[in-house]
Amino acid sequence: MLRSPGFEGTVRWLDVSAIGASAARSLTTWFVLRPGAPLPRRTGLIRRLRIDQRERSVQFMTQLPRGVEAAALRDLLMRHAEAAHARHALAAESSTAGDVIG
């Protein structure tokens, strides 16, 4: 799950449909949530956080960790999301495989 002091609760990786990162002026990372997924609510603790209800996205403007490029950060976040989707698919497959065998 994705957590931030900028919003209440968590965002499930399974609810993320797209991830992006850009470092044109400052780093902007965004997550687009699938239709029907709950949008987080702002806490006000992070000034440069935007939650866009129309686009169903969460956008952070921040600095990159030292030595990390925007593309590498995006790839890392994508791996987390893809791993969550893979675990979910495997769990669903293993539960139906038991029905077929048994």
Tokens 């709950």, residue? 38
Per-residue tens of pLDDT for the chain, all 102 residues: 888 888 888 899 999 999 888 877 778 888 999 999 999 999 887 788 899 999 999 998 877 777 888 888 888 888 988 899 899 899 888 877 655 544
Tell me the pTM.
0.73
Strands annotated E in 6-91: 10-11, 16-22, 27-33, 49-52, 57-62
Look at residues 13, 9, 11 and name the one whose alpha carbon lies nearest to residue 78: 13
